[in-house]
Amino acid sequence: MSNKFDNVEELLTSSLENLEKLYKVIKEVIENYPYQKDIDMSFGSEDSGTKTTIRELYDDFCKTLDEARKRLEKPNLSIAMIGITSSGKSTIVNSLIGRKIAPMESGEASAGTLTLKHSNESELVIEETKNAKWEIGRKTGLNDDQLYDQIRNKIMLPFHEHRKKEEIEAPRVSVSVPLLPVCDLNLLELPLGVDVEFIDLPVYNRLQIRTILN
The reported pLDDT for the residue numbered 2 is: 47
**Structural domain boundaries, residue 13:** 8-73
DSSP string, 95-151: HHHTS--S---SS----SEEEEEE-SS-EEEE---TT--S--EEEES--HHHHHHHH
Which of 73, 104, 123 marks a domain boundary?
73
Residue 109 domain-assigned?
A: yes
Instruction: Check whether 12 has a pLDDT greater than 80.
Output: no
**Residues 57 and 83 both lie in one domain:** no
Distances (CA, A) of 162 to 85, 166, 169: 17, 6, 10
With beta carbons less than 8 A apart as the criterion, state whether 83 and 110 touch: no
pLDDT recorded at residue 145: 96
Which of residues 168 and 97 earns the better pLDDT score?
A: 97
Q: What is the pLDDT of residue 7?
A: 73
Instruction: Examine the domain organization and report whether 62 and 111 are in the same domain.
Output: no
pLDDT score of 47: 61
Predicted pLDDT at 146: 96
Domain count, the chain: 2
Cα 124 from Cα 214, distance rounded (Å) = 31
Q: Is the pLDDT of residue 21 over 70?
A: yes
Residue 194, pLDDT score: 80
> pTM value?
0.68
For helices 54-73 and 8-31, the axis angle rounded to 10 degrees is 160
Residue 1 banded pLDDT, cuts 50, 70, 90:
very low
Q: Please tell me the distance from the alpha carbon of residue 123 to that of residue 141, in angstroms, as a whole number.
A: 7
At 120 the pLDDT is: 92
In a domain, 28, yes or no: yes
Q: Report the C-alpha gap between 206 and 152 in whole angstroms.
A: 24
What residue type is assigned to position 189 of the chain? E
Does any domain span residue 3?
no
Query: Which range among 34-43, 58-67, 187-196 shows the weakest confidence by mean pLDDT?
Result: 34-43
pLDDT band at 89 (very low <50, low <70, confident <90, very high): confident
Provide DSSP, 4-54: TTTTHHHHHHHHHHHHHHHHHHHHHHHHT-S-HHHHTSEES-TTTT--EEH
pLDDT bin (cut points 50, 70, 90) of residue 154 is very high
The confidence score (pLDDT) of residue 48 equals 55
Return the percentage of the chain with pLDDT > 90, whole number: 24
pLDDT at 38 over 90: no
Q: What does the mean pLDDT of the chain come to?
A: 81
8-state DSSP, 156: I
Same domain, 111 and 81: yes
Q: Please indicate, yes or no, whether residues 62 and 93 belong to a single structural domain of this protein.
A: no
The DSSP 8-state label assigned to residue 82 in this structure reads: E
Domain match, 56 and 97 both: no
Distances (CA, A) of 78 to 3, 110, 113, 129, 214: 21, 19, 13, 23, 18
Buried/exposed 91-130: b ≥16 CB within 10 Å, e otherwise: ebbbebbbbbbbbbeeebbbbbbbbbbbeeebbbbbeebe
**Claim to verify: residue 85 and residue 186 sit in the same structural domain:** yes
| 180 shares a domain with 133 | yes
- Identify the band that residue 137 occupies on the pLDDT scale cut at 50, 70 and 90: very high
Tell whether 146 is covered by a domain: yes
pLDDT of residue 45: 60
Residue that is last in its domain, among 35, 51, 73 = 73
In a shared domain, residues 128 and 44: no
pLDDT at 113 exceeding the cut of 60: yes
